[in-house]
Amino acid sequence: MRRALTPLTGLLGLGLIVLLVMTSVAIGSRPIPMSDVWQGIWHRDRSTESIIIWELRMPRTLLALTVGAALGIAGAVMQALTRNPLAEPGILGVNAGAAFAVVVAIAGLGITSFTGYVWFACAGAALASTLVWAVNQRAARSLDSAGNAQTRLLLAGVALSACLGACTGIITMFDQDAFDSYRFWVVGSLANRDESILMAFLPFAAAGLLVAGLLGSSLNALALGDDVASSLGVRVALIRVLCFAVLTLLCGAATAAAGPIAFVGLVVPHVARLIAGPDQRSILALALIIGPALVLAADIIGRVIARPGEIEAGIVTAFIGAPVLLRLVLTQVRSAR
């Protein structure tokens, strides 16, 4: 069956996002009826509803959408770059690298503003993704079977995450206050993020998404192998560098904004591939819809199921994503046999 991205799919996706945004704005400790939500979004005034909507819930909702888009696209780019369907910035330790750098910046250098530590997060993400990729290259060269190389990449990610996580742990051991905010940040939460974080995060996300958007057809060629890609006129090295730039910007900034949210980058490209087939351009386009929808849905679920408290979005995505990983792993190994 030939699958392709149709305008209808796009429209359905946008409709889903609008629906989720309205739900996200409506739900909270003070519920707002749907009709008032519509009213409040379009007519910004000094009424209580409007203030709640625009100052509390809208920034959080928009942040969820942007973080979702960033992580979804990062996952798609990473899977295309490594040619490994199990690749994901969370599992492979890229988010852990960003998290480690942020903790270093906060505890070591006393930087507490988002605009300050987001650079550290990007540097950490860059370092971690380069390292994991180097391991992947060596593994791919020294091994015969594809299944083995995939396992190795995953294990390298686990090792890197564990290593960085332990270093982060040592730093937070020193400082009880740092630990108290760290334990909420490390699970990936969208709570208590104000408009300034959203505004500071947007340029990073926009730059990353823009570059990723230009990469689609080159990534298609890259899927055929480095040699074929270069004979098709793709400058493989340049594309790789651009992929790393995308990963760095998107994972670093998203982690700095919302904490290390795992599994979004794994689930999104797979769902996109199910809907639209293997064309990277369609996958990237769909990831722009599925990613935001997933993170926002996770955030809404987390707010609803544990009332009056809430479960952080990162934990909800882990519970959605880990079974997907499990299923993928089991089918992968079966087919690699």
Partner 1 sequence: MNTVPGFRVISLPRNTTVRVHRRSATIVLTLVVLALFVLMLTVATGAYEITGNDLVATFLGGGSDMDQFIVLRQRLPRAVADLLVGAALGLSGAIFQSISRNPLGSPDVVGFATGSASGGLIVILLVGASSVASIAVGTIAGGFATALFVYLLSSGGGKVSERLILTGIAVGAMLASVNDYLITRATLDDAETAKAWQFGSLNIISWPHVIPLAVLLAVLVPLTLTMSGPMRVLEMGDDSAHALGVEVGKTRVWLLCAGVALAAAAVATSGPIGFLAMAAPQLARKVSRSPGISLLPSMAMGALLLGAGDPLAARALSPFQIPVGLVTAALGGLYLLWILTWRKG
Q: 229 or 313: whose CB is closer to partner 1?
A: 313
Among the listed residues 51, 170, 238, 241, the single contact to partner 1 using CB under 8 A: 170
22-30, 66-74, 176-184, 212-220 -> range binding partner 1 (CB under 8 A): 176-184
Question: For the chain, what is the radius of gyration of the CA atoms?
Answer: 20
Using CB under 8 A, which residues numbered 229 to 288 contact partner 1?
Answer: 262-263
Query: Interface with partner 1 includes 84 (CB under 8 A)?
Result: no
Gap between the Cα atoms of 312 and 245, Å rounded: 28
Q: 173 or 238: whose CB is closer to partner 1?
A: 173
The half-sphere exposure of 12 on its side-chain side, counting CA atoms within 13 A, is 8
Among the listed residues 165, 202, 240, 277, the single contact to partner 1 using CB under 8 A: 165
Among the listed residues 23, 54, 178, 179, the single contact to partner 1 using CB under 8 A: 179
Among the listed residues 11, 34, 109, 158, the single contact to partner 1 using CB under 8 A: 158
Which residue ranges make up the site for partner 1 (CB under 8 A)?
A: 91, 131, 134-135, 138-139, 142-143, 147-148, 151-152, 154-156, 158-167, 169-170, 173-174, 176, 179-180, 183-184, 186-187, 262-263, 311-312, 314-315, 318-319, 322-323, 325-326, 329-330, 332-334, 336-337
